[in-house]
């Protein structure tokens, strides 16, 4: 089954404790992206990757890091999480990143930073 898998689904942690949210897709997609979803703001892009070893900032990259060492994986790293990063996070992938390709989303990771 074609899917995007995120882990963990839920996490409560404390300010300053480094955490990583993993994302893996099995569709051989080149393009992967991270979004955060906040009430009244919709989805905002954090980082995206066009292919292995190619990443770039989205609209709200501050406080986040990513890496793309393998095509299927695109982890999101919060080196020193803060309460304003409490949010619902989604990973997505698409074929080649061209404009007419829809995104395939994971089921989301709800992060609470205390």
Partner 1 sequence: GDSVTQMEGPVTLSEEAFLTINCTYTATGYPSLFWYVQYPGEGLQLLLKATKADDKGSNKGFEATYRKETTSFHLEKGSVQVSDSAVYFCALSDSPSGGYQKVTFGTGTKLQVIP
Kindly list the residues in this chain that would bind partner 1 in the complex (CB under 8 A).
4, 31, 33, 35, 40-45, 48, 50, 56, 90, 92, 94, 97-108
Would you say 92 or 113 has its CB closer to partner 1?
92
Task: Kindly state the smallest distance separating residue 8's Cβ from partner 1, in Å.
Answer: 14
Distance in Å, CB of 101 to partner 1, minimum: 7
Q: How far is the CB of 99 from partner 1 (least distance, A)?
A: 4
Please write down the HEC assignment for all residues of the chain.
Answer: CCCEEEECCEEEECCCCCEEEEEEECCCCCEEEEEEEECCCEEEEEEEEEECCEEEECCCCCCCEECCCCCCECCEEECCCCHHHCEEEEEEEECCCCCCCCCEECCCEEEEEC
Whichever of 87 and 103 has its CB closer to partner 1, that residue is 103
């Amino acid at each position: 089954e074609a899917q995007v898998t995120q882990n963990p689904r839920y996490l409560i942690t404390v300010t300053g404790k480094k955490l990583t949210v993993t994302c893996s897709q099995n569709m051989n997609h080149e393009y992967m992206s991270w979004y955060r979803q906040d009430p009244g703001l919709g989805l905002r892009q954090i980082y995206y990757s066009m292919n292995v070893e190619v990443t770039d900032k989205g609209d709200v990259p501050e406080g986040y890091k990513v890496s793309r060492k393998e095509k299927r994986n695109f982890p999101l790293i919060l080196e020193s999480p803060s309460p304003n990063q409490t949010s619902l996070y989604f990973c997505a992938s698409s074929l080649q990143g061209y404009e007419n390709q829809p995104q395939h989303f994971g089921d989301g990771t709800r992060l609470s930073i205390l």
